[in-house]
Amino acid sequence: MTERRIEAAAGFDEFVSDRGGALWWAAWLLTGDAHHAEDLVQTALTKMYGRYASCENDRHFEAQVRTTIYRTFVSWWRRKAWRSEVPTEVHPDAIGVVDDDPALREDLLRALATLPRMQRAVLVLRYFEDRPAQEVAQMLGIPVGTVTSHASRGLKAMRLSTHLSDTEVDS
């Protein structure tokens, strides 16, 4: 990574730390929901991440991010599916924290080890490091669609893994 990219990444992180709360508040005022507000801010920041280095200062970048928040909100609002989302108790694609159970952690590591290298890398970056698909694609040098495909196949393989089976085998 070049020196300029490192500085831009550090500047972006500082911007998010300083202005993230205000951006979330604006998004919450639009959506009326804390979770939708977080999604909206994250989506806007993801869209704008690559433009941070080209902005004159944080004030100009914030204006662009806010514009992106508003435009994304309008885009989401037009889609009926976004308004009719219903939260559920079960998150089939979520991988839980296994720090409390060393045996489960071992099983998870074994199941991950059975995956092809690219699927494993995508799952770790997407779900353990909580990185957006676009960032994963950029990091791995592959298209975003390929990231989605690897994530889908990897999650399916993890669900079917004998290492993570909920049923116990009788001796």
Rank 19-23, 97-101, 107-111, 134-138 by mean pLDDT and report only the highest: 19-23
Residue 18 has phi, psi (to 5 degrees) of -75, -45
Give the predicted TM-score (pTM) of the model.
0.46
CATH C-level class of 3-83: mainly alpha
Sorted by where each begins, the domain ranges of the chain are: 3-83, 102-164
85 or 6, higher pLDDT: 6
CATH C-level class of 102-164: mainly alpha
Q: State pLDDT tens for residues 104-155.
A: 777 787 888 788 878 887 887 788 778 899 988 887 788 999 999 999 999 9
85 band by pLDDT with thresholds 50, 70 and 90: low
- From the CB of residue 97, how many other CB atoms can be counted at a distance below 10 Å? 10
What percent of the chain is helix, strand and coil (3-state, nearest 5)? 75, 0, 25
